[in-house]
């Protein structure tokens, strides 16, 4: 740390080659655009943008030179600074630009008379474009009263520059070349100045109250997202915060400096905004970055592996009622387990607790955005359910539960959700994994959409009703919700993005909806979660509507019991869990999982009903038959995976690998 700012670890080159190359490239564009304009070889709507582009790119050269970032040698900065000024504002001097811009750095976000660039962020919204267009006029108002205090050489240079500009402009107009002056310089330069004021001043500084004197880490922001486009187009000014913290770094090194010191910046809660204007906290940024850049599909598919992890004791932070028979439960996750409990939307937690003297395991979906640090599940009480009754009626903040790290294959990969439209069809507590999916994807990608079809008996029995209403308002049409209420439709939602339909979600209701305003052809993925009848009927309807099976994703919280048919055969079952292989003999009347647990093997499991998939293992040798296999995909069955809680051996020797 140097003067409270992290060392960027970037040495200044003798001459910043990209900055100098930008100057000569901009000069070449200006020459070509001017030749096209004067020769009538291109229309003005082609040449004006080219000349405006030169104003913008030449300012980056000037900007680096002002901060002595164009090279270690002083003459490099003085030379290229003065050479670039005429393409930005020929009526100003290099010394004038340098003084005004350094005053902005010294007094960032101060009042309009102290920070010359504050002109671009003050005033009502409708004035802002006019202020951006006139920023150089405001510079003149700021500079003229201070002119007499400036060094003599700077005063002479500034006066001579202004005088020469007046003579040249007047001469061109007097000789009948005013139109060429306007097309080649005045109009493009005004456009370029407005874009500079917008991108260099308003975007990184608007809405921030911290000043450079108060907190230099909070006086400007970075803008993340769409960096493949914004970084080259904005010439790295989407990382304007880095420039204010390390002004002597050339523009093309801003991203590298951010990466070198990202952790240090985040500990200071620097302002961060997405490309579309959503503010992010440091923790939201970490999760956002992980989801949008560091996320890989193999991590999303890692479902059984997490089940082999050890249980972690987590304290309950809050138990909050959702409906008369459901609660949300938030956990306090220690810092050293934060990364272990990062999750993909749709995944669940497996809880282990002792109720009425017996060890019980249950799985509950994570029901918050994966961009936050909040680890939260929701539990709905099941009649006669020992664990759900304990969690909804007796659990309190401060109690400790044993919890496995997130797992599950019913997931929506945020990295693949950009620009896509997904539909969730859920009933009751089936909302829990889907509310995580929709809140995450809509937050991460501003061009994604989500439609939720949500079935309940009444408005009062609807889990997350208030939260869904808030999300629908927040995402302003990108989230649309249709509530199906079988007992009492209740009042219509207040917002325009929710509506109520009487009755259950069934094939007739869905067909009518498809015919009206939800075409299956416009949907990129379907997520079904709820009772088995709803899931089976909806999946069959979608297949009839020619929806590819790979786009239909299913999760059951409770699988209906199946008739077992013939029992398995006596067998020796061996299984590998966490790199350790154990064997046990079975008479074939019990499931493979029951046999392994009886033999002392710590095999992963949760629901014991074939719905969650926690007990999935690969059949390496032998064969086994399953009673139900709702949690397996077609590809998993073909690859030899079985649900051990539902499988019975049909050969005398069976080998399984939970680690596969």
219-263 confidence digits (pLDDT tens)? 999 999 888 899 999 999 999 999 999 999 999 999 999 988 887
- And the tokens for 328? 């949300």
> Does residue 69 share a domain with residue 50?
yes
Q: How many CB atoms lie within 10 A of CB 385?
A: 16
Is pLDDT above 80 for 432? yes
Print burial letters for 292-330: b (CB count within 10 Å at least 16), e (below 16). beebeeeebebbbbbbbbeebebebeebeebbebbbbbb
Q: How far apart are the first and last CA of the chain?
A: 46
Name residue 234's beta-bridge partners: none
**Angle (nearest 5°) at CA 14 between 12 and 20:** 95
List the strands of the sheet with 375-380, edge to edge. Answer: 358-365, 348-355, 400-403, 312-323, 326-332, 375-380
Domain annotation covers residue 123: yes
Take residue 245 and report the two structure tokens written for it: 């913290």
Could you tell me if 653 and 630 lie in one domain? Answer: yes
In a domain, 487, yes or no: yes
Residue 333 is part of which domain span? 299-403
Contact 341, 405 (CB under 8 A): yes
Q: Are 509 and 486 in contact (CB under 8 A)?
A: no
Model confidence at 110: pLDDT above 70:
yes
Of 380, 403, 426, the residue that ends a domain is 403
Query: 264 falls in which pLDDT band (50, 70, 90)?
Result: confident
- The CATH number of the domain where 576 resides is what? 3.10.20.30
547-551: average pLDDT: 90
Residue written as token pair 């959503």: 278
Domain CATH number, residue 467: 3.40.50.80
Asked if 89 contacts 63 with a C-beta cutoff of 8 angstroms, the reply is: no
In a domain, 390, yes or no: yes
Are residues 619 and 537 located together in one domain of the fold? Answer: no
- Reported as a single tens digit per residue, the pLDDT across 327-358 is 999 999 998 888 889 899 999 999 998 888 88
Contact assessment for residue 647 and residue 591, using Cβ atoms and an 8 Å cutoff: yes
Q: To the nearest whole number, what is the mean pLDDT of the chain? A: 89
Q: Please, which residues have CB within 8 angstroms of residue 420's CB and are 6 or more apart in sequence?
A: 448, 449, 524, 525
**Residue 569, burial from CB neighbour count under 10 angstroms (0-12, 13-18, 19+):** middle
CB 39 within 8 A of CB 45: no
Q: Does 627 fall in a domain?
A: yes
Distance CA 577, CA 305 (A): 9
pLDDT at 557: 67
Residues 392 and 450 grouped into a single domain? no
The total domain count for the chain is 4
Q: What is the pTM of this model?
A: 0.64
429 and 378 share a domain?
no
Instruction: Indicate if 536 and 578 belong to the same structural domain.
Output: no
Does residue 297 surpass a pLDDT of 50?
Answer: no
Q: Does pLDDT of 300 surpass 60?
A: no
Tens digit of each residue's pLDDT (9 = 90 or more) over 578-621: 888 989 998 888 889 989 988 888 888 877 777 778 889 999 99
For residues 430 and 507, membership in a common domain is answered with: yes
Same domain, yes or no: 383 and 438? no
* Residue 476 clears pLDDT 80, i.e. is over it: yes
How far apart CA 372 and CA 354 sit, in angstroms, is: 30
Considering the domain boundaries, does residue 184 fall inside one?
A: yes
Work out the pLDDT band at 559, boundaries 50, 70, 90: low
Specify the pairing of strand 580-586 against strand 571-577.
Answer: antiparallel
> CA quadruple 280, 288, 232, 476: dihedral positive or negative?
negative
How far apart (Å, rounded) are the C-alpha atoms in residues 276 and 27? 33
Is 199 found in the same domain as 112? yes
Q: What angle do CA 279, 284, 286 make, to 5 degrees?
A: 125
User: What mean pLDDT do residues 530-537 have?
Assistant: 89
Are 529 and 577 part of one and the same domain?
A: no
Q: Are 37 and 218 in contact (CB under 8 A)?
A: no
Quick check: 539 and 554 in contact, CB under 8 A? yes
Does residue 111 share a domain with residue 196? yes
- Cα 323 → chain centroid: 30
What's the CA dihedral at 338, 610, 438, 267 to 10 degrees? Answer: 0
Predicted local confidence at residue 306, as pLDDT: 40
Phi-psi region of 446 (alpha: psi -120 to 50; beta: other; left: phi over 0): alpha
- Structural contact between residues 599 and 584, judged by C-beta atoms closer than 8 angstroms: yes
- Coil vs helix vs strand at 306: helix
Higher per-residue pLDDT: 1 or 273: 273
Residue 372 pLDDT: 83
Residue 376, pLDDT score: 96
pLDDT tens for residues 193-208? 999 999 999 999 999 9
Is 227 part of a structural domain of the chain?
no
- Does one domain contain both 149 and 176? yes
Q: What are the phi and psi torsion angles at 643 (to 5°)?
A: -95, 110
For residue 450, the cross-strand partners are 422, 479
Residue 147: pLDDT over 70: yes
Residue 70 belongs to a domain:
yes
pLDDT tens digits along 304-333: 334 456 889 999 999 999 999 999 999 999
């Amino acid at each position: 740390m140097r003067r409270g700012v992290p060392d960027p670890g970037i040495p200044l080159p003798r001459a910043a080659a990209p900055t100098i190359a930008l100057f000569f490239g901009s000069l070449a564009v200006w020459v070509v655009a001017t030749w096209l304009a004067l020769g009538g070889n291109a229309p003005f709507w082609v040449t004006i943008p080219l000349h405006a582009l030169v104003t913008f790119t030449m300012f980056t050269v000037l900007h680096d030179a002002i901060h002595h970032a164009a090279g270690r040698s002083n003459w490099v900065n003085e030379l290229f600074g003065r050479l670039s000024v005429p393409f930005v504002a020929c009526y100003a001097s290099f010394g004038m630009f340098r003084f005004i811009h350094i005053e902005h750095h010294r007094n960032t976000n101060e009042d309009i008379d102290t920070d010359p660039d504050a002109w671009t962020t003050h005033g009502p919204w409708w004035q802002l474009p006019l202020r951006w267009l006139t920023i150089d006029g405001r510079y003149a108002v700021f500079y003229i009263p201070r002119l007499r205090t400036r060094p003599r050489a700077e005063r002479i240079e500034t006066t001579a520059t202004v005088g020469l500009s007046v003579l040249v402009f007047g001469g061109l107009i007097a000789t009948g070349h005013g139109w060429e002056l306007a097309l080649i310089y005045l109009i493009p330069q005004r456009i370029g100045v407005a874009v500079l004021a917008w991108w260099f001043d308003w975007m990184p500084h608007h809405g921030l109250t911290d000043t450079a004197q108060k907190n230099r880490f909070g006086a400007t922001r970075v803008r993340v997202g769409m960096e493949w486009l914004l970084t080259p187009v904005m010439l790295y000014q989407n990382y304007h915060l880095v420039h204010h913290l390390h002004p002597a770094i050339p523009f093309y090194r801003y991203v590298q400096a951010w990466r070198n010191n990202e952790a240090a910046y985040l500990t200071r809660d620097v302002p961060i905004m997405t490309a579309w204007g959503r503010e992010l906290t440091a923790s939201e940024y970490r999760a956002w970055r992980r989801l949008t850049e560091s996320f890989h599909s193999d991590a999303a598919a890692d479902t059984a592996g997490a089940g082999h992890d050890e249980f972690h004791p987590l304290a309950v932070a809050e138990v909050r009622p959702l409906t008369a028979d459901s609660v949300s439960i938030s956990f306090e996750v220690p810092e050293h387990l934060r990364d272990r409990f990062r999750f993909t939307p749709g995944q669940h937690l497996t809880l282990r607790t002792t109720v009425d003297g017996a060890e019980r395991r249950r799985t509950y979906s994570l029901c918050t955005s994966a961009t936050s640090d909040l680890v939260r599940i929701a539990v709905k009480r099941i009649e006669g359910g020992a664990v759900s009754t304990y969690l909804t009626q007796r659990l309190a903040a401060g109690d400790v539960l044993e919890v496995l790290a997130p797992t599950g294959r019913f997931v929506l990969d945020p990295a693949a959700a950009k620009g896509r439209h997904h539909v969730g069809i859920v009933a009751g507590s089936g909302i829990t994994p889907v509310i995580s999916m929709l809140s995450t994807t809509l937050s991460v990608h501003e061009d994604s959409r989500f439609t939720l079809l949500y079935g309940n008996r009444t408005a009062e029995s609807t889990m997350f009703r208030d939260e869904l209403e808030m999300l629908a308002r927040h995402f302003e049409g990108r989230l649309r919700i249709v509530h199906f209420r079988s007992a009492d439709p209740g009042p219509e939602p207040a917002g325009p993005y929710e509506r109520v339909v009487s009755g259950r979600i069934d094939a007739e209701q869905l067909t009518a909806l498809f015919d009206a305003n939800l075409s299956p052809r416009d949907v990129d993925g379907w997520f079904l979660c709820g009772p088995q009848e709803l899931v089976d009927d909806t999946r069959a309807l979608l297949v009839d509507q020619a929806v590819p099976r790979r786009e239909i994703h299913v999760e059951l919280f409770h699988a209906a019991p199946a008739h077992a048919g013939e029992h398995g055969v006596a067998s020796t079952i061996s299984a590998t869990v966490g790199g350790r292989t154990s064997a046990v003999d079975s008479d074939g009347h019990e499931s493979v999982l029951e046999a392994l647990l009886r033999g002392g093997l710590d095999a992963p499991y949760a629901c014991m009903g074939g719905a969650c998939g926690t007990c999935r293992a690969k059949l390496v040798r032998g064969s086994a038959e399953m009673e139900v296999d709702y949690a397996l995909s077609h590809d998993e069955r073909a690859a030899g995976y079985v649900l051990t809680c539902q499988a019975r051996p049909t050969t005398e020797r069976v080998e399984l690998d939970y680690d596969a």
